[in-house]
Structure 1
Amino acid sequence: MNEPKFPGSPASKYPRYTIIVAGGSGTRMGADRPKQFLELAGEPVLLHTLRRFADPALGVRELVVVLPAGQLETWQTLCAQYNVQIPHALVVGGATRWASVRAGLAQLADRESGVVAVHDGVRPLTPRAVIEATYEAAYNHGAAVAAVVPKDSVRNLSQQGSYALNRARLRLVQTPQCFDLALLRRAYQLPELSTFTDDSSVVEDLHPIQLVEGDYRNLKITTAEDLYVAEALLRAGKG
């Protein structure tokens, strides 16, 4: 687990890296442990996520997992319990997602170029096609984000009440979010702002964001209901 490289990965036309950020507490789920460590189909959620990016077909050279300091020992214990053989670097995160991603980037400080994906540790069902498409779009355009069209009608709140928004012009943002490595470093050298909600919001003042078609199966485990849906998708072979 301490050796982060993938010596057997297929060569691609550019280096690929992944930062998986997992800082959840499980509070909203009413769970007794952080949601990334909850069991999904017999294994921790985070292990499912890690395995998606360790797929040899993707050719990721280094995987970085960012966890709060108090959760590193738990993850190491789980890796031993489940005999996790996926090489990855383990990094201590910060008080915010911004600080955690910055810590993950520091692990890649000596890498000169490539594309880096930032992914939520609790998105365990991301299809390989979505990951591949987002990496490729970032290689071609500098910054790319997986996103889907909202299924429900959306309204915006105003002082007069609310009004309908055109769903066709809206997107629900997912991860992975992929960026040219040098671009993401530049963005994270700027001060943290309260308006930062994800990595694309950190980068967008420096560079346009290309949207890539995501997948509704690429759900984020936030509530108990999400865990049930993820379990059903895996059992049905759709995850």
Structure 2
Amino acid sequence: MTKSPNPAGLKTAAIIVAAGRGLRAGAGGPKQYRMIGGRSVISRAMEPFCNHPQVFAVQPITNPDDIAVFNEAVSDLRYHNPANGGATRQASVHAGLEALADHAPDIVLIHDAARPFVTPALIERAIAAAQITGAAVPGVAVTDTIKQVNEAGHVEATPDRARLRSAQTPQAFRFDVILEAHRRAAKEGRDDFTDDAALAEWAGLTVATFEGDLANMKLTTPEDFIREEARLAASLGDIRMGTGYDVHAFGDGDHLMICGVRVPHTRGFLAHSDGDVGLHALVDAILGALADGDIGSHFPPSDPQWKGAASDKFLKYAVDRVTARGGRIANLEVTLICERPKIGPLRDAMRAKISEISGVALSRVAVKATTSERLGFTGREEGIAATAATTIRLPWTD
């Protein structure tokens, strides 16, 4: 991944620290790979850096055991090959710095993957602060009164909260300075620093602060996930519904593609693509909820590139249109209308395939079937029809 340097002529890189196990977050695997608001935590954390015009390189740090799930979670982003993390956060950051050394950035931003709500504005403030001071961290003013206690839990002091800040990431440094500090700490056997600002202070650097962001919170406990899911849901107040309809006639063939599942049959579909009426109806429902045309306007049958195309591409495209607008799909429902094949035995496989393609939870995907009581073209077994419905939630824009 290579971009132009920022307007000041300085090259800025970002390190995303994602090698931790996140045990305090409870069951479910490393927290950076869990879903929040319909997207993985690590995808949300990395995307603002990958897309920022002033960041020329993004260097993830991962646990080697996680590489497959990492690649799947961020497959749509551009970044440098992940470096292997160490036994501590400090060791992981050091590995990331060494991985970037040959690229010679002027500034490096070090960000925790467990902070998925970083904004472009915060990244810009971090870069600006590093240009001025060489070492800076985002800080949020403390609003609660803080008590310093001894081992027995007795209060020893009450610090002046006006002078206290809650430190966040991305922390920003001149690259050569923080790399040298990490090398020195490793040489002297110091591996107990909980953030890079503390290491920089130990190395004798003056660390400045800049304005943080209250929304840029770190996901640590199960309660954090519950709270932030609720916050994200509350922010998506533009609730929309969409419906879709599709029909395809039978022709020669020995199988049908229905809701992404290959179904053996005595006939095939007459269609430009694979003729998957279920997925086509779902695509139209999603595009309708977005007021974004229909499947024919995005994938015209006159275009030869879609001849024989698998319809999972169309559904993934429609889902990505929702995600690109900051939205979420609340549910997907499709009803198949046919005499044969019998859908009941295949219902769960179809639901699972739709869930896999769309990323919508299986509990939010419904597949139903009905006949037309031998009436009409479906009753005469000349083809299959499908209707679909969806509800999506978008941020308010007007």
Q: TM-score, normalised by structure 2?
A: 0.54
1:63 aligned residue: 58
2:372 aligned residue: none
Tell me if structure 2 keeps the 8 A contact 1:10–1:56.
no
Root-mean-square deviation (CA, aligned residues, Å) is 2.1
1:125-204 correspondence runs (5 A): 125-158=117-150, 161-162=154-155, 163-192=157-186, 193-204=190-201
Q: Match of 2:66, SS?
A: helix
Deviation at 1:69, TM superposition (A): 1.5
Q: Match of 1:110, SS?
A: helix
Distance 2:184 2:66 in 1: 28
Deviation at 1:194, TM superposition (A): 4.9
CA distance 1:159–1:237, change in 2 (3 Å): closer
In the alignment, does 2:71 pair up with 1:76?
A: yes
In the alignment, does 2:31 pair up with 1:35?
A: yes
Distance 1:228 1:136 in 2: 34
Deviation at 1:207, TM superposition (A): 1.2
CA distance 1:49–1:109, change in 2 (3 Å): same
1:235 aligned residue: 233
2:27 partner amino acid: A
Comparing 224-233 with 37-46, greater Cα deviation is found at 224-233
Deviation at 1:91, TM superposition (A): 1.0
Deviation at 1:42, TM superposition (A): 1.2
Tell me if structure 2 keeps the 8 A contact 1:135–1:144.
no
Deviation at 1:23, TM superposition (A): 2.4
2:276 aligned residue: none
Q: Match of 2:172, SS?
A: strand
The unaligned stretches of length 5 or more in structure 2 are 237-325, 327-398
Comparing 61-70 with 157-166, greater Cα deviation is found at 157-166
Distance 2:97 2:105 in 1: 12
2:221 aligned residue: 223
The unaligned stretches of length 5 or more in structure 1 are none
2:83 aligned residue: 91
Distance 1:195 1:78 in 2: 30
Deviation at 1:195, TM superposition (A): 4.3
Tell me if structure 2 keeps the 8 A contact 1:187–1:206.
no
Tell me if structure 1 keeps the 8 A contact 2:5–2:56.
no
CA distance 1:151–1:23, change in 2 (3 Å): farther
How many residues of Structure 1 are paired with residues of Structure 2 in the alignment? 230
Tell me if structure 2 keeps the 8 A contact 1:26–1:32.
no
Deviation at 1:27, TM superposition (A): 2.0
Pick the structure with greater CA Rg: 2
Percent identity reads 34
- RCO comparison, higher one (Cα < 8 Å, 6+): 1
In the alignment, does 2:22 pair up with 1:26?
A: yes
In the alignment, does 2:48 pair up with 1:52?
A: yes
